[in-house]
Amino acid sequence: MVGTAFAGTLTVGTDTNFPPFEFKDPETGKHTGFDVELWDAIAKEIGIEYKLQPMAFKGIVPGLQSAQLDAGIAGMSITEKRREVIDFSDGYYDSGLLLLVSADDDSIDGLKSLDGKVIATKQGTTSVEFLKENATPKEVKLFPNDNAMFMELLTGGVDAVMFDKPVIESFVSKRGKGKVKIVGDLYAGQPYGIGFPKGSELVGKVNAALKTLKANGVYNELYKKWFGVEP
């Protein structure tokens, strides 16, 4: 049983870069984003101290499994496979996967047209499994972070990127503007949940805090701040 959770300072894993959920603000040098602020509101609601630990996404589930992390908030999709080794909070954001190609590429219009193509995505993420099960590209190139993955598309090293909808949309509206376009459908609808070591007593507390923050408007405020729309 993971019982130390409330006694001291919790270690909370987050992705290094998964905007607008978590990223380093270039002006302040601090980690910020929807996940970061939502977790802070949850921690205040429960009355716990924590230290945020940005890390490569693929280390978060193992970190929770070995209880080196007390919680993980990283735009992490709730999947049956992960549920076998960690616990999840209730879903707090509805997501899915999108395909991104160069603006001038008319050869890809969805999953079927990925045959013989080279696709980039991020290590340890749900896109890796999804591509294995639903497409037959020539190659799937795996990158440790979003920046490297998007850069590979911009420099022509891959034909497409498959990744989480909000991160793709954020890239399209900012750094990728005019250079890339989304094609195909929204694939594999998947809610994000906060992860915990199995049996953690935090799960119930965090779910209760999430309910409170949804009822008192704090969740809505954060959602609007980071996504520009009402939930």
Exactly one of 20, 75, 166, 197 binds ligand GLN (CB under 6 A); which one?
75
CB of 101 to ligand GLN, least distance (A): 20
Q: Is 170 an interacting residue with respect to ligand GLN (CB under 6 A)?
A: no
CB of 116 to ligand GLN, least distance (A): 25
Exactly one of 53, 125, 170, 200 binds ligand GLN (CB under 6 A); which one?
125
Q: Is 31 an interacting residue with respect to ligand GLN (CB under 6 A)?
A: no
Q: Is 76 an interacting residue with respect to ligand GLN (CB under 6 A)?
A: yes
How many residues bind to ligand GLN according to rule CB under 6 A?
A: 11
Stretch that binds ligand GLN, among 1-9, 37-45, 108-116, 121-129 (CB under 6 A): 121-129
CB of 157 to ligand GLN, least distance (A): 19
Q: Is 32 an interacting residue with respect to ligand GLN (CB under 6 A)?
A: no
Q: Is 117 an interacting residue with respect to ligand GLN (CB under 6 A)?
A: no
CB of 21 to ligand GLN, least distance (A): 7
- Could you tell me whether strands 180-192 and 93-102 are parallel, antiparallel, or unpaired per DSSP bridges? antiparallel
**Angstrom distance (rounded) from CA 149 to CA 227:** 22
The DSSP result for the chain, as a single string, is ----TTTSEEEEEEES-BTTTBEE-TTT--EESHHHHHHHHHHHHHT-EEEEEEE-GGGHHHHHHTTSSSEE-SS-B--HHHHTTEEE----EEEEEEEEEETT--S--SGGGGTT-EEEEETTSHHHHHHHHH---SEEEEESSHHHHHHHHHTTS-SEEEEEHHHHHHHHHTTTTTTEEEEEEEEEEEEE--EEETT-THHHHHHHHHHHHHHTSHHHHHHHHHHSS--
Residues 34-63 close enough to bind ligand GLN by CB under 6 A: 57
CB of 122 to ligand GLN, least distance (A): 5
Exactly one of 5, 12, 13, 15 binds ligand GLN (CB under 6 A); which one?
15
Q: Which residues bind ligand GLN (CB under 6 A)?
A: 15, 18, 57, 74-77, 122, 125-126, 164
